[in-house]
Amino acid sequence: MSLLELIESADERALAASAVACLDRCLPLLTGPDGPEPLRPLWASCENGRDWAIRLAAVRTELDGAAARGGADGDGGDGPAARVRAVLAAAPPDFGPAPLREWADACSLVALEIHGRFDAPDGDAPQDTADLLKAARAGEAEGVGPLVAGELERQIRILEILAETTGTAGSGAGVRKALDLSTEGRRVLRAVMSRRARIRG
């Protein structure tokens, strides 16, 4: 199944976890290469939605501090870090399939767009990025860069894992596997950011 098909067929648990995972992988933009992990409380709510709205508000408050400091990439309000903050701000307090599906779709696209920026040597996504990402999410990933390809694969795998464990005794294990995959992806982006900073330095 394509990424879009997986998002369309996912339940609220999978949608919440996949969305949080997308933002989790982009955290180095907000908190720096060695910064904290403010999304951890949200992971704990993905299983059944318990305290979702409360934890979401707490995460936003914590990240407001990072925003006030300008973001790890220093984008000043309109760059990749700002995009992540904006999509987090749009997270629905209602733990329901309809609002979570729209949010998960937005988080998926933002994560892919950000990885596309880091695929580009100069940090600027090519003009045809939107068309490439649209095709990739529909199942035709030809032409995307290696970071986008890796991010796309992680998004698909996470949704597959969550679908396989829905309604089973191992549903909690499915969320933990999604977290592990996301942590691995965050390390990749962190390494790319560090390498680019060394080159600029």
Position 32 scores a pLDDT of: 72
How far apart are the C-alpha atoms of 15 and 83, rounded to whole Å? Answer: 19
CA distance 121 to 129: 14
Query: How far apart are alpha carbons 183 and 187 in whole angstroms?
Result: 6
| Mean pLDDT computed over every residue of the chain | 87
| Position 121, amino acid | P
Asked whether residue 191 carries a pLDDT value surpassing 60, the answer given is yes
Sequence letter at residue 65? G
Using CB atoms within 10 A of its CB, is residue 127 exposed (0-12), middle (13-18) or buried (19+)?
A: exposed
pLDDT band at 128 (very low <50, low <70, confident <90, very high): confident
pTM of the entire predicted model? 0.91
- Compute the distance between CA of residue 89 and CA of residue 153 in angstroms, rounded to an integer: 26
Tokens found for residue 22: 């997308």
SS3 labels along 64-121? HHHHHCCCCCCCCCCCHHHHHHHHHHCCCCCCCHHHHHHHHHHHHHHHHHHHHHHHCC
Task: Please state the domain extents for the chain.
Answer: 3-200
How much is the pLDDT for 78?
A: 62
Pairwise CA distance, residues 182 & 143, whole Å: 24
Burial class of residue 135 in the structure, from the number of CB atoms within 10 Å of its CB (0-12 exposed, 13-18 middle, 19+ buried): middle
Distance from C-alpha of 44 to C-alpha of 59, rounded to nearest angstrom: 12
**Per-residue pLDDT for 122 more than 90?**
no
pLDDT (tens digit, 9 = 90+) per residue, 41-75? 899 999 999 999 999 999 988 887 656 655 455 45
Residue 99, Cα to own-chain centre: how many angstroms? 16
Residue 27 has pLDDT above 70, yes or no: yes
Cα(68)–Cα(47) distance, rounded to whole angstroms?
Answer: 31
What's the mean pLDDT in 191-200?
Answer: 84
